[in-house]
């Protein structure tokens, strides 16, 4: 069944960007990323999903949905999840927690992963038509963990996480589950302490969690095996502080492109680094694997397609 013009018009009525500008005349599958900070201007999710649809030969379109306020979020989610053509709804800032609060008001029952229950925020809602349910996940932290584990084991690794917002919480959750020895540093110490309190119940995984203010960067960076910057601007380390890092310290940035200032500074200092592109690809792949299975796309074709997209996107 193709997405009707009436359905497209209804979706477009919620958002401020021109949704149909690049959309094909007819698509069998539809998805979108909902955000309040104009994802149409910055998000790479449409590129990743539309590359997937094209390479596997599926008629689909994934668009950015610039939602100006959370007042309409429940209605938009309810409409999208009820569409037979909808395969994925990605949620980005600042609606990840608000979307969690909307779940009880949606017509379909939701299956939540344990990380969503614990963090009380989400970034993917996937309608599963055969069961009439919604699969709900938060892949933010998993995307970063995948990128890190390609390079080193995280169990017992000394990890410094800078920041205490939504992305930091998701990454922190996965680090604790992986058994890392985690220190959280934030410009507002109380926020780091609050994140520690959220993660402490998970330390049965033999992880440890410490938290405090900006001074922890200077104290712990020289002995850290991994440093992750989850702040929105600037680099948390100065040039002189980079010089004190262990030679094999891995520096990871949640941001990318011109905004990936920490990763760029680490490269200039001769330290191994990754930027947010690998994290974003991992987030996408985790959701797309589930969608691919629901659409019964050949697993070998899907695996090959992911390799092509990852090579192109992270190069």
Active site positions, annotated:
96
Q: Please report how the helices 5-12 and 73-82 are oriented relative to each other, as an axis angle in degrees rounded to 10.
A: 160
**C-alpha 272: how far from chain center:** 22
Q: Do 182 and 156 contact (CB within 8 A), yes or no?
A: no
Spatial neighbors of 315 by CB under 8 A, at least 6 apart, are none
The phi and psi torsions of 212 (rounded to 5 degrees) equal 175, -160
Residues 209 and 201 sit within 8 Å (Cβ to Cβ): no
Q: What is the 3-state secondary structure (H, E, C) of 269-283?
A: CCCEEECHHHHHHHH
E strands within 92-173? 110-112, 124-128, 133-137, 158-162
Closest CA relative to residue 150, chosen from 293, 285, 299: 285
């Amino acid at each position: 069944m193709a997405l009707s013009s009436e359905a497209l018009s209804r979706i477009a009525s919620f958002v401020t960007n021109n949704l149909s500008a690049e959309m094909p005349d007819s698509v069998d599958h539809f998805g979108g990323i909902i955000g309040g900070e104009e994802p149409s201007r910055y998000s790479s999710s449409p590129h990743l999903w539309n590359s997937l649809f094209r390479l596997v030969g599926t008629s689909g379109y994934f668009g950015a949905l610039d939602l100006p306020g959370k007042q309409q979020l429940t209605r938009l989610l309810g409409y999208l999840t009820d569409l037979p053509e909808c395969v994925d709804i990605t949620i980005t800032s600042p609606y990840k927690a608000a979307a969690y609060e909307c779940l009880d008001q949606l017509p379909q029952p939701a299956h939540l992963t344990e990380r969503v229950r614990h963090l009380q925020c989400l970034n993917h809602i996937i309608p599963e038509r055969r069961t009439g349910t919604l699969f709900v996940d938060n892949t933010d932290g998993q995307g970063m963990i995948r990128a890190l584990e390609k390079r080193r084991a995280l169990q017992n690794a000394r990890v410094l996480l800078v920041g205490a917002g939504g992305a930091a919480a998701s990454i922190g959750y996965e680090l604790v589950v992986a058994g890392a020895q985690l220190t959280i540093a934030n410009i507002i110490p109380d926020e780091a302490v609050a994140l520690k309190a959220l993660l402490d119940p998970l330390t049965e995984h033999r992880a440890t969690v410490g938290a405090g203010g900006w001074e922890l960067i200077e104290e712990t960076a020289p002995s850290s095996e991994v440093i992750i910057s989850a702040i929105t601007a600037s680099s948390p380390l100065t040039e002189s502080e980079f010089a004190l890092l262990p030679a094999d310290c891995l520096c990871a940035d949640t941001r990318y492109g011109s905004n990936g200032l920490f990763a760029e500074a680490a490269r200039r200092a001769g330290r191994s680094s990754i930027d947010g592109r690998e994290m974003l690809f991992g987030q996408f792949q985790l959701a797309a694997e589930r969608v691919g299975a629901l659409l019964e796309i050949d697993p070998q074709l899907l695996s090959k397609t992911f390799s092509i997209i990852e090579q192109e996107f992270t190069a």
